Amino acid sequence: MPHLPAADIRRAVRVGLEEDLGRGDITTQALFSKPIHARAKIVAQQPLTVAGLSAAVQTFLAVDPTLILTVERHDGEQAKDGESLLRIAGDGRSILQAERVALNFLQHLSGIATLTRKFCRAVRGYPVHILDTRKTLPGWRALQKWAVTLGGGVNHRMSLGDGILIKDNHLVLMQRGSQAVRSACRAAHAYQARTGPVIVEAESLAQVRKAIEGKAEIILLDNMTPLMVRRAVSLINRRALVEVSGGITLKNVRAMAAAGPDRISIGALTHSAPAASLSLVVMPARRRSS
């Protein structure tokens, strides 16, 4: 199971709490002048793949290290509707102060992991990987891409420094006309500081041929139909890995997988995943019997 580096969690928790608690929680302060012992639990309100629980735990502890936390579902595990993921006991004021930030992590990241799992299940039986993209929230890339791996997906480039991806706008700026793809590939292969493969985005079979001539290592078929993808796969004939992207949905992803690519990259995994439904239920502490 992939693990998110602790430094990324700490950074995200710090920023989240600064946003939400920078000026204090005046509602809780106005209503409760003294500690009030309470119990609470975070409950799944739909079937989901858990992601962000470690960040939620760190959020509660950052607000109040004396809180007692009992983890009942770990990151990457499946949770059913109504199941508890985390139980918290301690000062109710601290629980309320950490609630929103903790739920933000869990709802957003579990939503990404759950959607990714749906895409992975949709292509089951085909030798294809589901990848994310760089379409992520500023500052949240490490967390969002981690959630993708928890759902069974594979990370594409983490940054512009991870491999050369030649896209349409690069080719426009080169001003080489029909020779732009081959010229770009030649420059990419010659670039001594490059890391990772040379990837070329192709929007037509003509561009696919140019990418093959340029010895691209991965050819990204952009916004093609499954029939066009099948033709491109045949044309490439294993001389490069084949990736498809653009307009991929749960309705058409299996047809895309059947066309024979090696990879399917989906921006929606991170930029359009619906938040998972979870709630924090607070319960008064049990009274001691006299």
Q: Is 80 a catalytic residue?
A: no
Helix or strand or coil: residue 142? helix
Beta strands in the chain (DSSP E): 37-44, 48-49, 68-71, 78-79, 84-91, 129-131, 164-166, 198-202, 218-222, 241-245, 263-265, 278-284
167 is catalytic: yes
Q: Which of 11, 118, 134, 135 is catalytic?
A: 135
**Which of 91, 132, 217, 222 is the catalytic position?**
222
Q: Active site includes 210?
A: no
- Classify residue 228 as exposed, middle or buried by CB count within 10 Å of its CB (0-12, 13-18, 19+): middle
110-124 in b/e form (b: 16+ CB < 10 A) is bbbbbbbbbbbebbe
How many Cβ atoms sit within 10 Å of the Cβ of residue 34? 6
The active-site residue, picked from 201, 210, 217, 254, is 201
Among 100, 118, 194, 209, the active-site one is 100
Residues annotated as catalytic are 100, 135, 167, 201, 222
